[in-house]
Chain A
Amino acid sequence: MNIRSVLIANRGEIAVRIVRAAKALGLRTVQVHSQADTDSLAVKLADAAVEIGPPPAKKSYLNIDAILAAAKAANVDAVHPGYGFLAENADFADAVTAAGMTFVGPSGDAIRLLGDKVMARAVAVKAGVPTVPGSDGRVADLAEAVAIASDIGFPVMVKAAAGGGGRGIRIAHDADEFARLFPQASAEAAAAFGDGGLYLEKVIERARHIEVQILGDGENFVHCFERECSLQRRRQKVWEEAPAIGLPDDVRSRLCESSVALARQVGYSSAGTVEYLYDDATQDFYFIEVNTRIQVEHPVTEMVSGIDLVQAMLRIAGGEKLSLRQDDIRIHGHAIECRINAEDPYKNFMPWPGRIGQLRVPEGEGIRFDTMLFEGYQVPPFYDSLLGKLIVHGADRADCLARLQGALKELVITGIATTIPLHAALASDPSVGEGRTHTRFLEPWLETDFAALKRAREDA
């Protein structure tokens, strides 16, 4: 490997994970930190630490100049961005490279290309990856729109080209409703966004979120199979699994091979994830986007494949060729990850910074807890609420769920509210047990099933 030291431009559990992976490879580790993270676990574990600014992320973990100055002062060979913060900032990747260091991730150009929704969709189409059926861009008028809608099949989503974040979306269930709705939606979009442009997309009613882990060195590309992340709240993943539940083998092959084709199309170098919507009813999958970084839920893939993805990223960044061939990569058993957040699930997920009292971590075969916590640690209010990830592996999904139930009982964090009770409820829920979940499962379930548990708890 042609790197001997790495600066970790992140915090929290992922910084701890990267420090450990880098040390295992014999690299010198330098941890940057804000004034709020001076006492953090990653700072304690790293060989050296550099303060980069005040607590707010904009002034520290998002401050490119401060991070580059720290990297130069510490004389490191490489910078690992983790996830979030600057991980998918193409300008940051370019700035690291321009300063003569290695960015642990794909090139700035690859991040830029895949980070643009329209360009990424075009790359996917070129690589033969299925995309959500729809109008390719804006539709000119009602006649064209009706023709395209009939082609896609109803229900159809009418989306404002200038909308976003769920605004400017209408759903038409048949051609009559579509003809009525379309001019109305255009007028509304013009009023709301100053742009009446509309485009169309197929509605996938019971979609599951499935994503494929890829690794590339610029010449060779492999997949490490898929993860399922259908349990989401406010579009945030809460619980992830590998492999996807009940996915037919031929679908799995096509899905994973399409991700490798996409990686090859752009000459991808590093670890990445290709995200899809999966339609249970038709067994069709559709490309959503590529994440050009390590993901929060990477451990479930590590547990079933035995591959250390963070170490693989560092090796690729260090100029090593991928030693893995596709045939070497196999899935063993099943893994589930629960995101343990500093939020009170009984109080509408109110954030809960504060001091950790007792911390008891379950141990045993197939159990892993990635965290930055220690007893007495003060969880700062300035960053996201992720405290750690409980990852459990079992011989199959049923075995994994049984182990997870036990591990969740043994995991004790006092002093602050956490989402452990939410996960305990999910782990023993019959629908979750049978894998009857999709991306719109969790929010209604919280209103009904979890609310009932909450009432029972209050009565007790």
Chain B
Amino acid sequence: MSIADIKSPLPGVFYRKPSPESPPFKDDGDAVKPDDVIGLVEVMKSFHEVRAGIAGVGIRFVVEDTDAVMAGQTLAEVQA
């Protein structure tokens, strides 16, 4: 197994939860499928879903909820 990065497709603010009161889309250690939503990126007040894009286990987020992110920045790593 190797480590794969899940990158942000857009610049903006990264959210790990669908709303402030909700639990996160994924917790550290969760398994993911390619179509799983792992977070949202807010760009100019519009929200875009970020999908894992890869199947893997043991997801580990490397940015915090509500952090500013650049396009192409790594959001999380998974063992794939």
Contacts and interface: CB of A to CB of B under 8 A. Distances in A.
A353 B11 contact: yes
Contact of B12 (A59, A381, A384): A381
B46 A382 contact: no
B68 interface: yes
Given A351-B43, A351-B46, A382 B12 contact: yes
Given A55-B13, A56-B13, A381 B44 contact: yes
Nearest to A56: B13
Contact of A56 (B11, B44, B66): B66
Interface in B35-50: 42-46
B10 interface: yes
A385 B66 contact: no
Contacts of A36: 68
Contacts of A58: 66
B45 A384 contact: yes
A54 interface: yes
Interface residues of B, number: 11
A198 B76 CA distance: 46
Interface string B1-43: 0000000001111000000000000000000000000000011
Contact of A342 (B12, B42, B44, B68): B44
Interface residues of A, number: 15
Interface string A109-140: 00000000000000000000000000000000
Contacts of A353: 11-12, 43-44
Interface string B66-80: 101000000000000
Given A381-B10, A381-B12, A54 B45 contact: no
Nearest to A354: B11
A384 B13 CA distance: 13
A250 B22 CA distance: 52
A381 B11 contact: yes
A383 interface: yes
Given A381-B11, A381-B12, A382-B12, A54 B44 contact: no
A450 B45 CA distance: 24
Contacts of A381: 10-13, 43-44
Q: Which of B11, B43, B44, B66 has the most CB of A within 10 A?
A: B44
Interface string A377-390: 00001111100000
B13 A383 contact: no
A55 B44 CA distance: 12
A36 B10 CA distance: 16
Nearest to A380: B11
Contacts of B13: 55-56, 381-382
Interface of B: 10-13, 42-46, 66, 68
Given A56-B68, A382-B12, A383-B45, 18 more contacts: A54-B68, A55-B68, A56-B66, A58-B66, A59-B66, A342-B44, A343-B44, A353-B44, A381-B10, A381-B11, A381-B13, A381-B43, A381-B44, A382-B13, A382-B42, A382-B44, A382-B68, A383-B44
Interface of A: 36, 54-56, 58-59, 342-343, 351, 353, 381-385
- 9 closest residue pairs by CB, A with B: A351-B44, A381-B11, A385-B44, A381-B12, A55-B68, A351-B43, A381-B43, A56-B13, A384-B45
